[in-house]
Structure 1
Amino acid sequence: MEAWYLLHCKGKQEERARLNIENQGYTTCLPQIKRQKIVQGKRVECIEPLFPNYIFIQLDSSTANFNALRSTRGVNSFVRFGGMPATVPSEVMTTILALEQNSENQHAAQPTFSAGEKVKITEGPFAGLQAIYNMPKGEERCLIFLDMLGNQQRIEIEETALRSE
């Protein structure tokens, strides 16, 4: 009977492990997410595994070669409980497979705005107010100008709490 298992991969080698496992004829699942990071002072988009250092694999436990899979390049070992490779419940895998399918179609990236662009705040105490985007501050926050009491105030806010006007 086929079931899903979880493999622990070597650091940043999930893609390598996935390719080598699929070359052996197995089905894998490696859900990914698009994120923005600051690299050398510049904001860049990158695609990262949703579960770093882990990959899901579908196996028939009666015919699968667990030793060969454990020795695959990029793989450390199976996740085990009580000495036996742990199976992932089918309900959990249904959700994860849906996430993987959605991430292939459209990644959930944080919006990128340019300086001076009009934005609307969608979350928090200032939800519904208009502001002007100033600049990014770190990986997930930014500075905006908000008109309050007749003055422009510079406020730090989560970038995900903004949308284009």
Structure 2
Amino acid sequence: MKTASEEAPQSAEQPGGTEDRSAEIHEAGQASSKKTRRRGNRENGTGPTADAEGESQKSSRMAWYIVKVQTNREDSACEALKRRIKVAGLDRYFGQIIVPVERITEVKGGKKRVVRRKLYPGYIVVQMELTDDTWFLVRETPGIGDFTGAIGRPTPLLPHEVNRILAKLAEEKAEDAPKLKIGCRVGDRVKINEGHFANFEGEVSAVDEANGRVTVMINIFGRSTPVELEYWQVEPAA
């Protein structure tokens, strides 16, 4: 007859098995800890590749849309939308959000001044992927009205329209010399308000926007004579 000790199954552990198993568990724990730290760094934006991964996650289905906003609230509406996007965690569905402007030189009271003029007063331009969530977020932002286009079907900008807006944006960032705002065109009737020919009236025959000069044809001794003037030396004839 076999004893109880003889009938009991033999242990599967070989000599040294306990130590090997402990080492495996320790290594697995270290690997898991490292993976957790890397994931945490990415989520917190502290990892070495956090920025690169964030860029690669941007949606590839974006288009450009013009959005109506309250007049004179273009900048504040733009900032409010950016904040709501971040809070909602929808950054990957949005690109640039801009208020297109250009710099011009105006003359008031005989003095020149550079001002920034909005290209589309009452509108901002948004690069985004249109989904139910993004559409609702934009529509519900304070100061924002609706997308341009058919009701319920926003119309994206055409490529040449986008290029024009981005070109203006590039000019603004490059801080090129501001464009002169000359208030007359070829064929306009103007009055000279300063210089040797003050109070003469004539017709504009040429406009040099690059140098801020205009050529006016005036009548001198019965003959039509061209006179070149600074653009601020003329005003519309009454």
TM-score by length of 2: 0.45
SS in structure 1 of the partner of residue 115 of structure 2: strand
Residues 1:9 and 2:69 are matched in the alignment: yes
SS in structure 2 of the partner of residue 87 of structure 1: coil
In the alignment, is the contact (CA less than 8 A) between 1:34 and 1:109 conserved in 2?
yes
Equivalent residue in structure 2 for 1:74, among 140, 143, 155: 143
Separation in 1 of the partners of 2:158 and 2:110?
42
Separation in 1 of the partners of 2:145 and 2:121?
13
Tell which has more relative contact order, 1 or 2 (C-alpha 8 A, sep 6+): 1
Q: 1:40 to 1:54 in 2, by over 3 A?
A: farther
Number of the residue aligned with 1:149: none
Separation in 1 of the partners of 2:177 and 2:81?
24
Equivalent residue in structure 2 for 1:92, among 156, 161, 168: 161
Q: What do the CA deviations read for 1:106-131 (whole angstroms, capped 9, x no partner)?
A: 263428xxxxxxxxxxx969xxxxxx
Query: Identity over the aligned pairs, expressed in percent?
Result: 17
In the alignment, is the contact (CA less than 8 A) between 2:100 and 2:125 conserved in 1?
no
User: Which structure is higher in helix share?
Assistant: 2
In the alignment, is the contact (CA less than 8 A) between 2:69 and 2:145 conserved in 1?
yes
Aligned residues: 132
Separation in 2 of the partners of 1:67 and 1:99?
29
Number of the residue aligned with 2:194: 144
Q: What do the CA deviations read for 1:19-76 (whole angstroms, capped 9, x no partner)?
A: 1222324321321122355789976432121111111101112475211111212211
User: Which structure is higher in strand share?
Assistant: 1
Q: What 5-or-longer segments of structure 2 have no aligned partner?
A: 1-60, 86-90, 214-229, 232-238
Larger radius of gyration: 2
In the alignment, is the contact (CA less than 8 A) between 1:29 and 1:97 conserved in 2?
no
Q: How does 1:38-53 map to 2 (within 5 A)?
A: 44-53=113-122
Q: Runs of 4 or more off by more than 3 Å in structure 1?
A: 35-45, 141-144, 155-161
Separation in 1 of the partners of 2:99 and 2:148?
15
Separation in 2 of the partners of 1:5 and 1:87?
5
Separation in 1 of the partners of 2:133 and 2:69?
18
Equivalent residue in structure 2 for 1:101, among 170, 173, 176: 170
Separation in 1 of the partners of 2:192 and 2:65?
40
Q: What do the CA deviations read for 1:82-102 (whole angstroms, capped 9, x no partner)?
A: 530111112210221111111
Q: 1:66 to 1:40 in 2, by over 3 A?
A: farther
SS in structure 1 of the partner of residue 172 of structure 2: helix
In the alignment, is the contact (CA less than 8 A) between 2:102 and 2:168 conserved in 1?
no
Number of the residue aligned with 1:153: 197
Equivalent residue in structure 2 for 1:30, among 99, 109, 133: 99
Separation in 1 of the partners of 2:133 and 2:177?
33
Separation in 2 of the partners of 1:60 and 1:101?
23
Q: What is the CA RMSD across the aligned residues, in angstroms?
A: 3.5
